[in-house]
Amino acid sequence: MALVVQKYGGTSVGTVERIKAVAEKVGRFHDDGNQVIVTVSAMSGETNRLLGLSNAISSSPAARELDVVVSTGEQVTIGLLVMALIELGYDARSYTGGQVKIITDSAHGKARIQRIEDKNLRNELDAGRIVVVAGFQGVDESGNITTLGRGGSDTTAVALAAALKADECQIYTDVDGVYTTDPRVVDCAKRLDKITFEEMLEMASLGSKVLQIRAVEFAGKFGVPLRVLSSFKEGPGTLITCEEDDSNMERPLISGIAFNRDEAKLTLRGVPDKPGVASHILGPVGDANIEVDMIVQNIGGNSTNDFTFTVHRNEYHKAIEVLTKVAKDVGAAELVSDDKIAKVSVVGVGMRSHAGVASTMFRSLADESINIQMISTSEIKISVVIEEKYLELAVRALHTAFDLDVHEDKD
C-alpha cells in the first residue's frame, strides 16, 4: 500500500463534470489499495473573478483581506470534490489549510509554509478516508488566512507529500508530462520518462511552465518523487527524482531544449573600468525592483567595459529609465537596448561529464547562420541570446543536433 498525494489544477476541476471525472480518477487510486490525499486549485476562472471583485473595491486591496477572499476559491473545490467522492460511495473529507493546519509565515499573498501538522490527516487516512486539502492556502501562527501566491497548489501538494513522507506526489495538469522542448515549436518533441530536479528547475525557469519552480525546489529539498501527468488522458507522465539514473547507459547528454521570449537586453557601452562599477550599475536596477537574469561583461576598447544584462520584457521600459540615469553617473558612452531577443538553453545533467556540448550547440547555430549575442553557462545548462526571429529555427536545429527527435509515430 502506497501513500500518494495528488494535485489537480484549475483546468482539471474547471467544471462540475471535470470534478466528477477527478473523483473517479481519485477513487480508482483508492480502489487499488493506495492511501490518497488530494489537493486542488480553485475552479479555473474563479481566482480571477475574486481578484476582480477585490480590485473593484480597491486598486491595492489589503493583503490580509485579499487572502480571506481568494482562499475561498479552493475551499469551494474541496467541498465539491468530496461531495462527488461521497456520491461515488467513497468515504472522504475536506480540509482547508487552516483545518489541516498548514502553518505559514504571515507574508500574505506570498506566504511560505513553515510546518504541517500531520495528525488530522493521519487519523483520516488510518480511518480509510480519502482526504481533500485546499491548495494554495494556510494560516499563520495567529490563525490569519494566508495564500502561497498563484500556482501555490503545487507547493501545497509537495509540502503535504514531504510532511507525510508520501511515496509519490502526482501533479495532474493539462499536459501529459515534461517534453524535450515545447511540442508547439518542435513537432517531434519527446515526452521524458524521467528528469532530475536540477534539470526540471532549469527547464521550468526557462519557460516550460508545467510546474511551479518553488514546488520543484521544495520536492528536491525533501526528496519527494514528483510525477507530472495529464488529468485528461492515461499515461505514466514524467517522473522527477533526485537520482541521475546511472543504470541507464543510454541516457542522453541533453534532456531538453528550453527557451524564453520574455526577456529584453540592455547594454551600457564604454563603461570606465573601475572597481565597483558593476554594483553601481545593478544597484539602482535592484532598488527599482527589476529582476535581472543573465549578466555578461566584455572588455571594450580604451580600458572601458561593455556591460550587458537581461530583464523581463514587462520591465524593459522601467529598466531603460533607470539605466539612462545610471549611464550618466558611471560615465558610460552609450546605452543600447533591444527587446527583440530570445533565450535558448540546452539542459542536461549529462553535460557535467562531457565536453563538447557547447561546441555542438554553437556549431548548430552557426550552420543556420544564427548570430549569438550573449552566452551564459551553468553546471547543467548553456544559454544563448539570439535575435527573436530565429527562435523556432534555433530550437529545432538544437533538438535535432542533440538527438532528441522522436522517431516513432506520436499518438
Q: Where are the beta strands (DSSP E) in 249-314?
A: 256-260, 263-272, 292-299, 304-312
Site string for its own copies, 80-119 (x = CB under 8 A): x-xxx-xx-----xx-x-xx--------------------
Q: Which listed range, 76-84, 209-217, 230-238, 251-259, lies at the site for its own copies (CB under 8 A)? A: 76-84
| Distance of closest approach, residue 93 Cβ to its own copies, in angstroms | 7
Q: What is the DSSP letter of 179?
A: B
Task: Name the residue among 182, 217, 176, 210 with its Cα closest to residue 196.
Answer: 217
| Binding footprint of its own copies, residue count (CB under 8 A) | 37
The rounded distance, in Å, linking the Cα atoms of 373 and 309 is 11
Is 65 a binder of its own copies (CB under 8 A)?
Answer: yes
162 neighbors 218 (Cβ within 8 angstroms): yes
For residue 76, give the 3-state DSSP assignment: helix
End-to-end Cα distance, the chain? 32
Restricting to residues 112-151, which ones interact with its own copies according to CB under 8 A? 143-145
Contact between residue 43 and residue 15 where contact means Cβ atoms under 8 Å apart: yes
Q: Counting contacts by CB under 8 A, is residue 58 touching its own copies?
A: yes
- CA-CA distance, 61 to 51, in Å (whole number)? 9
Smallest CA-to-CA distance from 337 within 391, 285, 275 is with 285
Instruction: Find the binder of its own copies among 76, 125, 295, 335 (CB under 8 A).
Output: 76
Q: Is 27 in the site for its own copies (CB under 8 A)?
A: no
Which lies closer to its own copies via its Cβ, residue 98 or residue 152? 98
Q: Which x/- pattern, by CB under 8 A, does the window 225-264 give for its own copies?
A: ----------------------------------------
Nearer to its own copies, 132 or 404 (CB): 132
Per the omega criterion (within 30 degrees of 0), is the bond before 274 cis?
no
Binding residue for its own copies (CB under 8 A) from 5, 13, 38, 69?
69
Q: Is 147 helix (H, G, I), strand (E, B) or coil?
A: strand
Q: Minimum CB separation from its own copies for residue 343, in Å?
A: 39
Q: Which residues bind its own copies (CB under 8 A)?
A: 16, 19-20, 50, 53-54, 56-58, 61-62, 64-69, 71-72, 75-76, 78-80, 82-84, 86-87, 93-94, 96, 98-99, 143-145
